[in-house]
Amino acid sequence: MRAARYHGPGDIRVEEVPKPEIEGPDHAIVRVTHTAICGSDLWFYRGESDREAPSPVGHEPMGIVEEVGEDVVSVEPGDRVLAPFAVSCGACEFCRKGLHTSCVNGDSWGGDNGGGQGEYVRCTQADGTLVRVPDRHADDPETLRSLLPLTDVLCTGHHAAVSAGVDEGATCAVVGDGAVGLCGVLAARRLGAERIVAVGHHEDRLAIAEEFGATDLVSARGEAAVEAVREVTNGGANHVLECVGAESAMETAVNVARPGATVGYVGVPHGMDAGVDLFPFFGDNITLRGGVAPVRAYIEELMADVLQGTLDPSPVFTKTVDLEGVPEGYRAMDERDAVKVLVEL
Ligand SMILES: [Zn+2]
Ligand SMILES: [Zn+2]
């Protein structure tokens, strides 16, 4: 099969690799029809995190079930399915708690499972991981574009909003204008936030934030961003969504938090080797909640809204490529020419 592989910083190649096969009774093989390139893929692409080379890449697959192992009961060949970035069993202590990313039987895309940016993937926990798209929506191209962000960014933005305690009438600040930050805005609006301040520094992305329901846009960084948010919120927001993961973003997040506020964080921590300074949290009784998003826990709830047409994250896809265009997709995201790249196979 054809699949994208990482060969080193800045070097993604689409090449011929072995097709994954069923190796256990709970496995399924999915023929990928749609996938995406993620902001988190840029960490290794830029050489800022280590990754084996060559290795398959991608973790946001949607497609058609091709084959299932003998114990699989929730999906069958021909079903349209999507999967979160983490594989989980759905039955262990942590899955039952909605903490699927801590699944004791968990697995990931990559290695000989195939990455999400290739023609086929093997899912080692098919019943716990794969989510079926209802048949009457399974072939509508527009609907599929709107569903694909459920594999990661929409649910991750939602996790930031939930972790920050966003509720009806809330005032919140969203730090970061990448796909996750934009989905955080969408999720906060869905949860009933009345005031949503989007903080970023790309005009085109903030325009999407506005379309998604942001009531105030702050295009600045660092101290200037903090001042602007504190000004429009009269001293800080009660709910802050940290959607980047960089040390500077966490700093901005805590500095725009009102005393007693909650910061929901979902960005993979980077540049925090020296640790997070707890003093600003201590001084104003600010709570820090969140972590890696247990996407699988949120898919059904959010999918229902996407299918009824009240939730549409598809504007985060500002560029579409085919499988051979994946290297170009990485370049576009790295150079900020695209917010998020959709890959249609
Ligand atoms: Zn992702
Ligand atoms: Zn589990």
Ligand 1 is an ion; its neighbours by CB within 5 Å are 38, 152
The ligand minimizing its distance to the Cα of 105 is 2
**Which ranges constitute the DSSP H helices of the chain?**
41-45, 93-96, 126-129, 141-147, 153-163, 179-190, 203-211, 222-232, 247-255, 279-283, 295-307, 326-334
Residue 260 backbone phi and psi in degrees, to 5: 85, 0
292 Cα: distance to centroid of ligand 2 (angstroms)? 15
pLDDT at 72 (0 to 100): 98
**For range 329-341, the mean pLDDT:** 97
**For range 73-88, the mean pLDDT:** 98
pLDDT at 51 (0 to 100): 95
* pLDDT tens-digit series, residues 37-71: 999 999 999 999 999 999 999 999 999 999 999 99
pLDDT of 274 higher than 90: no
pLDDT at 206 (0 to 100): 98
Query: For residue 137, what is the enclosing H or E element?
Result: none
55, 94 contact by CB (below 8 A): no
**DSSP 8-state code for residue 202:** -
pLDDT at 40 (0 to 100): 92
202 Cα: distance to centroid of ligand 1 (angstroms)? 20
Rounded to the nearest integer, the mean pLDDT of the chain is 97
pLDDT of 291 higher than 90: yes
19 Cα: distance to centroid of ligand 1 (angstroms)? 22
56 Cα: distance to centroid of ligand 2 (angstroms)? 24
Long-range interactions of 138-146: CB distance < 8 A, separation 24+: 138/79, 138/80, 139/80, 142/314, 143/306, 143/307, 144/33, 144/34, 144/62, 145/34, 145/314, 145/317, 145/342, 146/306, 146/311, 146/312, 146/313, 146/314
pLDDT of 323 higher than 90: yes
Cα–Cα distances (Å) from 276 to 11, 62, 175, 287, in that order, read 32, 36, 17, 13
pTM score over 0.95: yes
83 Cα: distance to centroid of ligand 2 (angstroms)? 15
> The tokens of 262 are what?
């909650």
In angstroms, what is the C-alpha Rg of the chain? 20
Binning pLDDT at 50, 70 and 90, where does residue 199 land? very high
* pLDDT tens-digit series, residues 114-153: 999 999 999 999 999 999 999 999 999 999 999 999 999 9
pLDDT at 273 (0 to 100): 82
> The tokens of 149 are what?
């962000």
**DSSP 8-state code for residue 133:** P
Alpha-carbon span 60 to 65, nearest angstrom: 15
The ligand minimizing its distance to the Cα of 124 is 2
Ligand 2 is an ion; its neighbours by CB within 5 Å are 88-89, 92, 95, 103
**For range 318-337, the mean pLDDT:** 97
**Which ranges constitute the DSSP H helices of 24-91?**
41-45
pLDDT at 123 (0 to 100): 98
Angle at 255 between CA 253 and CA 256, to 5 degrees: 70
* pLDDT tens-digit series, residues 207-240: 999 999 999 999 999 999 999 999 999 999 999 9
Binning pLDDT at 50, 70 and 90, where does residue 295 land? very high
Alpha-carbon span 209 to 91, nearest angstrom: 37
